[in-house]
Chain A
Amino acid sequence: MMISNGIEDEEKWLAEGIAGIQHNAFYLHRAVDSNNLREALKYSAQLLSELRTSKLSPHKYYELYMRAFDELRRLEMFFKDEDRHGCSIVDLYELVQHAGNVLPRLYLLCTVGSVYIKSKEAPAKDVLKDLVEMCRAVQNPIRGLFLRSYLAQVSRDKLPDIGSEYEGEGDTVMDAVEFVLQNFTEMNKLWVRMQHQGPVREKEKLEKERSELRDLVGKNLHVLSQIEGVDLEIYRDAVLPRVLEQIVNCKDELAQYYLMDCIIQVFPDEYHLQTLETLLGACPQLQPTVDLKTVLSQLMERLSNYAASSPELLPEFLQVEAFSKLSNAIGKVIEAQVDMPIVGAITLYVSLLSFTLRVHPDRLDYVDQVLGACVKILSGKAKLEDSKATKQVVALLSAPLDKYDDIVTALTLSNYPRVMDHLDAGTNKIMAMVIIRSIMKNKTFVSTSDKVEVLFELIKGLIKDLEGISTDDLDEEDFNEEQNSVACLMHILYNDDPEEMLKIICTVWKHIMAGGPKRLPFTVPPLVFSALKLVRRLQGQDGDVAGEEVPATPRKIFQLLNQIIESLSVVPAPELALRLYLQCAEGANDCDLEPVAYDFFTQAFVLYEEEIADSKAQVTAIHLIIGTLQRMNVFGVENRDTLTHKATGYSAKLLKKPDQCRAVYACSHLFWVDDQDGIKDGERVLLCLKRSLRIANAAQQMANVTRGSSGPVTLFVEILNKYLYYFEKGNPQITASVIQGLIDLIKTEMQSDSATGGPASDAFFTSTLRYIQFQKQKGGAMGEKYEPIKL
Chain B
Amino acid sequence: MVLVLALGDLHIPHRAPDLPAKFKSMLVPGKIQHVICTGNLCTKEVHDYLKTVCPDLHITRGEYDEETRYPETKTLTIGQFKLGVCHGHQVIPWGDLDSLAMLQRQLDVDILVTGHTHQFTAYKHEAGVVINPGSATGAFSSITYDVNPSFVLMDIDGLRVVVYVYELIDGEVKVDKIDFKKTTTATA
Q: Which A residues are closer than 8 A to B by beta carbons?
A: 440, 480, 484, 487-489, 491-492, 522, 525-526, 529, 532-533, 536, 579, 583, 586-587, 590, 620, 623-624, 626-628, 630-631, 666, 669, 673-674, 714, 717-718, 721-722, 725, 728, 760, 763-764, 767-768, 770-771, 774-775
Cβ 8 A contact of A728, one of B94, B98, B126: B98
Contact B63 A484, beta carbon cutoff 8 Å: no
- In the bound complex, how far is the Cα of B145 from the Cα of A714, in angstroms? 36
Asked if B29 is an interface residue, CB under 8 A from chain A, the answer is: no
Contact A579 B63, beta carbon cutoff 8 Å: yes
Give residues of chain B (82-127) contacting chain A, Cβ–Cβ below 8 Å: 89-90, 92-94, 96, 98-99, 101-102, 105-106, 108, 126-127
Contact A526 B13, beta carbon cutoff 8 Å: yes
Contact A624 B89, beta carbon cutoff 8 Å: yes
B interface SS class: loop
Contact A631/B17 with A533-B140, A771-B127 known, Cβ cut-off 8 Å: no
| Residue in B closest to A590 when the chains form the complex, CB atoms | B142
Q: Which B residues are closer than 8 A to A by beta carbons?
A: 12-18, 43, 45, 63-64, 89-90, 92-94, 96, 98-99, 101-102, 105-106, 108, 126-127, 140, 142-143, 145
A interface SS class: helix
| Residue in B closest to A536 when the chains form the complex, CB atoms | B145
Q: Total A-B residue pairs with C-beta atoms closer than 8 Å? A: 95
Contact A763 B93, beta carbon cutoff 8 Å: no
Cβ 8 A contact of A718, one of B15, B102, B143: B102
A673 to chain B: which residues have CB within 8 Å? Answer: 93
Contact A771 B92, beta carbon cutoff 8 Å: no
Enumerate the 7 nearest inter-chain pairs by beta-carbon distance, A residue then B residue, closest first. A487-B13, A488-B17, A586-B142, A525-B14, A767-B105, A721-B102, A763-B108
**Nearest Cβ in chain B — how far from A131, in angstroms?**
70
Cβ 8 A contact of B63, one of A624, A669, A764, A771: A624
**Other A-B pairs beyond A488-B17, A491-B13, 11, CB < 8 Å:** A525-B15, A590-B142, A669-B92, A714-B106, A721-B106, A722-B102, A725-B102, A760-B106, A767-B108, A768-B105, A774-B126
| Residue in B closest to A533 when the chains form the complex, CB atoms | B140
Contact B140 A529, beta carbon cutoff 8 Å: yes
B12 to chain A: which residues have CB within 8 Å? Answer: 488
Contact B102 A484, beta carbon cutoff 8 Å: no
Contact A484 B142, beta carbon cutoff 8 Å: no
Contact B64 A626, beta carbon cutoff 8 Å: no
21 residue pairs from A and B, CB less than 8 Å apart: A440-B18, A480-B43, A487-B14, A491-B16, A536-B145, A586-B143, A620-B89, A620-B90, A624-B63, A627-B92, A630-B92, A630-B94, A631-B94, A669-B93, A721-B106, A722-B102, A725-B102, A764-B105, A764-B108, A767-B105, A768-B105
**Nearest Cβ in chain B — how far from A669, in angstroms?**
5
Contact B93 A631, beta carbon cutoff 8 Å: yes
A666 to chain B: which residues have CB within 8 Å? Answer: 92
Cβ 8 A contact of B90, one of A529, A623, A630, A763: A623
Contact A771 B93, beta carbon cutoff 8 Å: no
| Residue in A closest to B14 when the chains form the complex, CB atoms | A525
